[in-house]
Amino acid sequence: MTAARRGLWTLADHVICSGSNFALMILVAGNVPVVTLGEFALLYGFYVVVVELSRAAVSEPLLVRRPEGDAAVRRALADSSGSAAVFGALAGVLLLALSPFLIGAHWRSAVVLAVLLPALLIWDALRLAFIAIGWQRRAVLVDVVGGVVQVSAAFTALTVEVSLSWLVAGWGFGGLVAACLAATQARTLPRLGAPRRWLREYGTLVRPYFVETGALSLAGYAVLIVLGHIAGPAAVGAWRAALTLFGPANVVMAAGRVAAVSELSRLRTAGPGRMLRSAAVVGLLCGVVGAAAGAIAAFLPDSVGHALLGESWADVGPLVPAFTALLVIEGIGLGPYGVLRAMERVRTLFVLRVSVAAGRVLAVSAGAALAGAAGAATASSLIEATGFLVAMALLAAVLTAAPFRTSHVTPQQSREHP
């Protein structure tokens, strides 16, 4: 399969995954009381944080260090899914401890999710592992089946009884079915004793990726807290509405990031010229997507905007220019960020991304104080632009200072991380 086809299949996988999640939330919002919706959102939010951390620890290292050979592929699939299952079990224990603070008396729902978390993480780990090793069609098949079963099971559960426990059980059952199908497609079972070996082979990537993802997640949440504290709840509502409006473009960006890291890692031995050309193509294409999304948002008829976002549509207009700039810069930035990730410049990228995240919180504070949500969005885009320029400078320095590696390095070999 060519790089272009792999990219298209990866995009299709992300669209299917995001589409099924969107359909699930629409189904829940339209069929349960607002209190139940809020409780489900809290549990779902916990799952989102856990799956992002699991991807940082299990999936992204595999995108960077793709295994070679049937035996190595089979072991990587077993080890990554097994590590994800163990992480899911530990997260389930943490959820049970936090459930009194999250959802109060509805502890049964937390128990259901805690039991099903390992299956949900196995599903996610294997779909991304399939993408890493070039089995994009298998990832798409698993996500189609999992998404259909999730939405269907949630709908069936709601017809039986409108309760949080039944809803979580239906949603989680879809993850269990998808995990079983993914394991069948992988032709191996998750190896539950794998985390120690996984950390030994990929630990130099796992630890900084995990901390980096945690810092970025906290920074994203801190932006909303700061914005609400300084500019008020209406500003947070406008920010969320703008994120929803640009949601399809963000799906493309997420797919582009996964495809970029995977493909650039494949080109690591081909020399810097080909790698940089591929990175430039990915960055420019994603930048065009961001610009197109901004143009559509700017010229969207008010009737359509009100139908999509309701009363918050009136507050979104002032944010569109800054959000467009932010999305364009993020898209173009996939080029240098992807090359640094593929070259395993772990410490360099870790410091850069965490610094940008911290700078965004400070910039949003100043922007919100000066001009509300619009000022916060403008400040956020300026920080992203600064991060992009620094990434370009760091990439130039790395390519100038160190010879480009042309030999393949296996996961077992040690690597230098300047």
DSSP string, 368-379: HHHHHHHHHHHH
**What would the pLDDT profile of 224-279 be if each residue is shown by its tens digit?**
778 888 988 778 778 877 887 887 888 788 777 877 777 788 777 777 788 888 88
CA pair distance 127, 139, nearest whole angstrom: 5
CA pair distance 41, 103, nearest whole angstrom: 10
Q: Domain residues of the chain, as ranges?
A: 3-193, 207-401
State residue 179's pLDDT score. 93
State residue 258's pLDDT score. 77
CA pair distance 295, 180, nearest whole angstrom: 42
DSSP 8-state code for residue 318: G
CB 60, CB 83: distance < 8 Å? no
CA pair distance 31, 322, nearest whole angstrom: 35
**What would the pLDDT profile of 142-162 be if each residue is shown by its tens digit?**
999 998 998 898 888 888 777
CB 385, CB 332: distance < 8 Å? no
Q: Residues 6 or more apart from 238 whose CB is under 8 A from it?
A: 312, 315, 316, 319, 373
Reference 333, options 236, 260, 231; nearest CA is 260
| Token code pair at residue 186 | 């992988």
CA pair distance 33, 12, nearest whole angstrom: 33
Mean pLDDT (the chain) is: 83
State residue 407's pLDDT score. 40
Which burial class, exposed, middle or buried, applies to 325 when counting CB atoms under 10 A from its CB (0-12, 13-18, 19+)? buried
When pLDDT is cut at 50, 70 and 90, the band that residue 366 belongs to is very high
When pLDDT is cut at 50, 70 and 90, the band that residue 120 belongs to is very high
| Average confidence (pLDDT) over 115-144 | 91
**What would the pLDDT profile of 64-96 be if each residue is shown by its tens digit?**
787 878 888 899 899 999 999 999 999 999 999
What's at 258, amino acid-wise?
A: V
* Structure-model confidence comparison of residues 324 and 214, the more confident one: 324
CA distances from 391 to 125, 214, 254, 255, 337 (A): 28, 21, 19, 20, 7
When pLDDT is cut at 50, 70 and 90, the band that residue 3 belongs to is low
When pLDDT is cut at 50, 70 and 90, the band that residue 417 belongs to is very low
Q: Residues 6 or more apart from 403 whose CB is under 8 A from it?
A: none
Q: Which of 110-114, 153-157, 363-367, 379-383 has the lowest mean pLDDT?
A: 153-157
State residue 379's pLDDT score. 95
CA pair distance 293, 250, nearest whole angstrom: 10
CA pair distance 159, 155, nearest whole angstrom: 6
When pLDDT is cut at 50, 70 and 90, the band that residue 117 belongs to is very high
State residue 243's pLDDT score. 80
What is the percent of the chain where pLDDT is above 90?
A: 29
CA pair distance 312, 217, nearest whole angstrom: 25
State residue 103's pLDDT score. 66
Length of the chain as a residue count: 418
When pLDDT is cut at 50, 70 and 90, the band that residue 313 belongs to is confident
What's at 199, amino acid-wise?
A: L
CA pair distance 227, 368, nearest whole angstrom: 6
Q: Residues 6 or more apart from 207 whose CB is under 8 A from it?
A: none
CA distances from 321 to 246, 301, 381 (A): 12, 16, 10
What is the percent of the chain where pLDDT is above 70?
A: 90
CA pair distance 59, 69, nearest whole angstrom: 18
Reference 188, options 144, 125, 140; nearest CA is 125
DSSP 8-state code for residue 297: H
* Structure-model confidence comparison of residues 30 and 403, the more confident one: 30
CB-side exposure of 396: number of CA atoms within 13 Å? Answer: 6
Is residue 410 scored above 60 in pLDDT?
no
- The three-state secondary structure class of 65 is coil
Q: Residues 6 or more apart from 208 whose CB is under 8 A from it?
A: 346, 347, 350
